[in-house]
Chains A and B, each alone.
Chain A
Amino acid sequence: MRQPKSDLQNSQNIEHVAKLANLPLSNAELAIYSEQLDKIIDYINQLNQVDTKGVEPTFSVREITNVFQTGEQNQSLTATEALQNAPVHKDNFFVTKGIFED
């Protein structure tokens, strides 16, 4: 069986994963995680010893699809409730970073 090589010790790779994860990590954190994750991934690589040819994946043990709700209106949060934990809000809206300009 092929052994995938994670190579998270490579600083570019670990920085790429942090960027994908939207995590602002310090250089010290990047160094610790690259070492720890490499060790964990080494352990996880034993999965490739398992013969899974012809085996269907399990994504959920509840073998159900298309659960329908009754078409009734449910009680939902008021705007005040929905905004009560927002760090910044204005005119009953969440304030987010601007995409083109602030």
Chain B
Amino acid sequence: MQITKLSLIETKQALLDKQFSEAELNQAYLDRIEKLNSKLNAFLHVQTNKVGIPAAIKDVISTKDIPTTAASKILENYLPPFNATVMNRLAAQNISVIGKTNCDEFAMGSSGENSAYGKTLNPWDLGRVPGGSSSGSAAAIAADLAVFALGSDTGGSIRLPASLCGTIGFKPSYGRVSRYGLLSMASSLDQIGTFTKTVADARLLLEWMSGTDNLDSNCLQEAFKASNTDKKDNLKGLRVGVPTEYFGQGLDQEVAKVIKSAISKMESLGAKIVEISLPHTEYAIAAYYIIMASEVSSNLARFDGIRFGKQRDQFGAEPKRRIMLGTFSLASGYYDDYYAQAAKVRTLIRQDFARAFTQCDAIVGPVSPTPAWQIGEKVTDPLAMYLSDVYTVPASMAGLPGISVPAGFVQGLPVGLHVLSKYADDETVLNVAEVFTEQTNFAKEKPDL
């Protein structure tokens, strides 16, 4: 048995059955990290534990007395004096931190290249980006360097790297999981989620992590509990919406083929395919970059070098760019044209989804317009980089739950299928994704490292 191939649920069972000890489990993953991290740069910090089930944690999530840098020089020596709520909830389930994963600085980026500690590489092709911003978490799970990983998703930062690295990346509904202890980027969008080897693991982790938290008043009161526990092998009765706007200009034709074949597979599993329209899709990135940057400029004002961290000149280029953009859009004289207008367009995007969900139960499409791109390809053109999030941002603006599941390959590079559902209907997303991954073999494919 290869310990590092096991899912979270399988690992728990194997420990119960005493097939191996927690020390052996941790050593198996530490050996693999030792062998592969120098190639991938997925971890910024590794903990040599002997107990617990090892998880990889994105370095924007506060871990008590374990370095948390947000992949920024400004927090180079920062040691959080407290745990994020999710870390306390996971600790109660015997989860330990095997390491903190690399990411774009302060979770700002689509490629993983914005880290102050060097870029993470894609395990499927070391010349390509893993996607961002949760680059190290996605690469770590693709390469079996932890049982599961946590990431954060503001405009696609879990789903995009999951798609590019061929892992399962789940962003729960906004407010489903407490953000307390997550280094704030854009508070009206930020959400913690998971990278896992199976969809069932993502469901279990959501049950563990969700639920009311006095420290995050946005948090949904009820903990998530799967209500339909009968495992299904088909999608009978499910109406699947396919947005016309997600298959237009800009979508790589080979990626389109993979996604269309995934949709045919869903149809053959009993789903009814419905064509839908999300007419404000084309404005989503523009509105997002105003709203997100405005919130960034406000949230990052706390880094004043007094209570923690270094001076503000230690921010990297992307945080500085977004702080500047946000400050500009909130400045007197520009507010109505930019921030206020973007907030209204956000309403129109939500209304698009609300109308679509009268015709369907789930929406599917591509996660990324292309497979993993070459390192350096988009670094000098921030706008081209921002447009990588064109299919993930609209759902973020509406707070919807979404997942990326492996759906095939283009020239050896993974392609993720995006599944979305109504606000707070995380269950449908998980159930549809589970049937799809179990009736196909793509999620079991692993890179040759």
- A residues near B (Cβ < 8 Å) are 2, 4, 6, 8, 14, 17-18, 20-25, 29, 33, 36-37, 39-41, 43-44, 46-48, 50, 52, 55-62, 64, 67, 69-70, 74, 77, 81-82, 84-87, 94-96
Contact = CB atoms under 8 A, between A and B. Distances in A.
Contacts of A62: 174-175, 218, 399
A87 B337 CA distance: 40
Interface residues of B, number: 61
B341 A82 contact: no
A77 B397 CA distance: 34
Contacts of A6: 328, 334
A29 B78 CA distance: 26
B299 to A, nearest CB: 12
Contacts, number: 145
* Pairs A-B, 5 closest by C-beta atoms: A57-B343, A61-B399, A85-B308, A81-B81, A52-B344
B3 interface: no
Contact of B320 (A29, A40, A48, A77): A29
Interface in B226-241: none
Interface in B179-218: 188, 214, 217-218
Interface of chain B: mostly helix, strand, loop or mixed: helix
Contacts of B308: 85-86
A48 B53 CA distance: 51
A96 to B, nearest CB: 5
A30 B283 CA distance: 28
12 contacts: A4-B337, A17-B327, A20-B327, A21-B323, A50-B341, A52-B341, A57-B346, A59-B188, A60-B188, A62-B175, A74-B214, A85-B81
Contacts of B327: 17, 20-21
A46 B305 CA distance: 37
Interface in B297-320: 297, 301, 304-313, 315, 320
Contacts of B304: 22
A97 to B, nearest CB: 8
Contacts of B321: 33, 36-37
